[in-house]
Each structure stands twice: as C-alpha cells, then as structure tokens.
Amino acid sequence: MQSLILAPSRELAIQIEQVARSMGSGYKVNVVYGGRPIAKDFEELATLPALLVGTPGRLADHLRRGTFNPDTVRLIVLDEFDKSLEIGFEDDMKDILENLPGLEKRILTSATEGMRLPRFVGMTNPLYVNKLSSGIKKLDIKAIISPDKDKLETLYKALCHLGEQTGIVFLNFKDAIQRVSDYLKEQGIPHGTFHGSMEQRDRERALIKFRNGTHRLLLATDLAARGIDVQEINFIIHYHLPLKKEEFTHRNGRTARMHKEGTAYVMKWNQESLPDFMPQLRKASIKEAPKPEPTGKSTLFISGGRKDKISKGDIAGWFFKQGELEKNELGIIELKNDCAFVAVPKKKAFQLVKKLDNSRLKKRKVRVKLI
C-alpha cells in the first residue's frame, strides 16, 4: 500500500473513495470508517489497496491491529485536518504519522485559513495554495428577515419563493432539525435530514437521495458543511446563525462550487444581531409563491454491488429490459461494494419493485426495495 488519506467524517471518506474510483486509474482503492462492522474491513483489505481512505480513528485501529504494513506507505493526505483536530482526532493522527517510517510526503488540506499546524505534522515551511485567488466571486450572500423569533413560517415562505432549486438548510442542533422537519412535513415539503446522531446507514441514504434528486432539500447540522459533493446546490440557508467564522465559511462553500453561482441566505429575527465575522448583508426580497412540486423521483435499493461483479451498465440494462423502463426515465445509479441505489420515476417505483425483486441480475438473485 502506497498512500493514505484521512478524513474527519465518514461521509467525506466515502466521497473521496468514490471520486478516486471514478478516475479509472486501475489502482485498488478502499475505504474504512467507524460505524460499520470491522469484519467488512478485513474482507476488503485481504488484498491491500494502493490507496486507503478512512477516518483517523478507524485507520489508527487498523495500524494497532497490524492489518497492513505501515512501512510501505509513502504519501499521506490529512483532508480537512483542522476539523479532525476540532472533533478530537489529534491523538489518532499523531499515532498514525509516528508509525509510518517510510513516509516521504505529507499533504494537509483545508478551506480554513490561518489554522495552526500541530507539531506532530512535522511541517515547518508549508506551502499555501489558494485556488480562489482569481477574485471571481460567484457566491451571493443575503439576509432573510423574520418578523418573529420563531422562524418556521419565514423558512416556509423562503422555500416556496426558491421553488424547485436544490439547497441545504443548516441548523445548530439535531433537536431543532426534528422540529423543523416535522413542520415541513405538515406543510407538504419533502426533504431529507442529516446529523451525527443518525445511524450511519440512514446518513448515507439521506445523502444518496439528495444527490440523485429524490430530495432537493436537506436539513443538516454542520456535519454537512464539509465533504458533501452535490453538483447542483443552488442555495444554502443559515436557519441558525453559525457560532464561528469557520462554520460560516464551510457552510457557504456548499454552494457556488465548480464555477457555478449560488446564494447563501442568513435567516435572522429582526431584533437579532449578526456575528462580527459576517459582512453587511443586503436584504433578500422574498415573494409569495406556491409550495414547490415534489421531484417525482424515488430511490430503489438493490442488494448487489461491485463484489458481485455487477456494473452500472448491468444495472441500467436490467432496468431497461426486465423493468421495461424508458432510457430517459432512469436516474443516477450509485454503485457500492455490496449494494446499489437507483433513482427512478416515483409513479413507477412500486411497479419496478414488483418486477425486479427476487429476480436475477448478472446471474445473481437480488432483492429490490424502496427506501
């Protein structure tokens, strides 16, 4: 094994692994993280990859267990290293770095400027690269003023105004997410939720449904401020004001990505003061509008994946031939090691489950269900 990439969250680690696989380099790539059975790690690492991605805690655990030979690792990347420090991974990262005797290169990445470099990193003269130095600004930041301290009704009006755009609403507390989620359900606005107290499986599926367009809205804590790679996030809303400048920066970084435009809305009660780190904001004009229509998509789970020699092409052909789906009706396919997820028209979802469940895909009988 030649390279390690450490990421502070499971979602970011998974995302990095998916991007590395999509590059088609021909090198073996695996990901390990807490929250899943370690037996799955041992099974996948029986043949060591060229690149191993993981969270610091799980990677440190594998080093202590002797799962792989640390002498062969030449490169390590600490992605979003400041977040790993913030959430308590300093000891794990230190242990990992101190037990890689053949290490030749270390790379630390973060969108947060001016972060302290821990002594154990061993960097005395770091090179800072700012890819946004061109000065082209594509992010617009505006204020949404709520006449009431309880901002639920203002949020509903804002979402109606924004219509069928894709966005994330950031909140500071998981209990608040549940309250806002219950309210939006009552108002008939579909959405997903994402926070650290959710089961890992539910977190992953919430992101899958957000990426493939089943949900165009996600209610999330700052856990979603890093490592959420969704191409078309048109806006984010700070329902709760962020507590730190770094949180403000990373939340805003979810939109206006990859040369696209986006808007960050700061929702504040009219008697609420903005933190000092926020700029002066123009007031957004929120117009009365009907609630947005649902996306018309559903997500199906398939109990077969890469380890079963199943490809995205196999899945697509199966849906066209056996599921009798039109080519323009098949949505995004996400292929995992042991399963897959497919976006399909909501009106045909139950019919597809009936046709495909317990049938053969690539000579393997698989289960299909709606999630």
Residue-wise pLDDT tens digits, 198-226: 998 999 999 999 999 999 999 999 988 87
Q: For position 349, what pLDDT does the model report?
A: 97
What tens digit of pLDDT does each residue of 22-53 get? 888 889 999 999 888 999 999 999 999 999 99
What confidence tier does 127 reach under pLDDT thresholds 50, 70, 90?
A: low
pLDDT at 51: 96
Residue 110 has what pLDDT?
77
pLDDT at 217: 97
Separation between Cα atoms, residue 310 and residue 220, nearest integer Å: 33
Task: Measure CA 196 to chain center.
Answer: 12
- 112 pLDDT exceeds 80? no
Taking 60 as the threshold, does the pLDDT of residue 130 lie above it?
no
pLDDT at 205: 95
Cβ–Cβ < 8 Å for 299, 339: no
Q: Report, in this order, helix, strand and coil percent for the chain, each rounded to 5.
A: 35, 20, 45
Give residue 82's pLDDT: 84
pLDDT of residue 256: 80
CA–CA gap between residue 110 and residue 79 (Å, rounded) = 7
Kindly state the average pLDDT of the residues 125-136: 51
pLDDT computed for residue 347 by the predictor: 97
Residue 92 has pLDDT above 70, yes or no: yes
Q: Which of 65, 4, 8 is nearest to 227 (CA)?
A: 8
**Residue 197 in contact with residue 223, Cβ under 8 Å?**
no
Tens of pLDDT, residue by residue over 325-368, are 999 999 999 998 899 999 999 999 999 999 999 999 998 999 99
Domains belonging to the chain, first-starting first, are 3-121 (3.40.50.300), 139-283 (3.40.50.300), 297-370 (3.30.70.330)
| Cα of 348 vs its chain's centroid, Å | 27
Q: Which one is predicted more confidently, 126 or 327?
A: 327
Question: What does the pLDDT look like over 242-277, one tens digit per residue?
Answer: 998 889 988 998 888 766 789 999 999 988 999 999
DSSP letters, 288-306, are --PPPPP--EEEEEES--G
pLDDT of residue 132: 45
Q: Does residue 143 sit in helix, strand or coil?
A: strand
pLDDT of 261 reads 86
- Cα atoms found within 13 Å of the Cα of residue 200, Cβ hemisphere only: 12
Is residue 134 very low, low, confident or very high in pLDDT (cuts 50, 70, 90)?
very low
Contact 77, 84 (CB under 8 A): no
Q: Which two tokens stand for residue 112?
A: 């947060």
| 154-158, 187-191, 232-236: least confident range | 232-236
pLDDT band at 140 (very low <50, low <70, confident <90, very high): very high
3-27 average pLDDT score: 90
Cβ–Cβ < 8 Å for 142, 281: yes
Distance of CA 283 to CAs 118, 154, 179, 212, Å?
41, 14, 26, 32
Is residue 160 predicted with pLDDT exceeding 90?
A: yes
Segment 74-92 mean pLDDT: 88
Can you tell me the distance from the alpha carbon of 264 to that of 247, in angstroms, rounded to the nearest whole number? 13
Q: What is the pLDDT of residue 135?
A: 43
Residue 20 makes CB contacts below 8 A (sequence gap 6+) with: 29, 51, 53
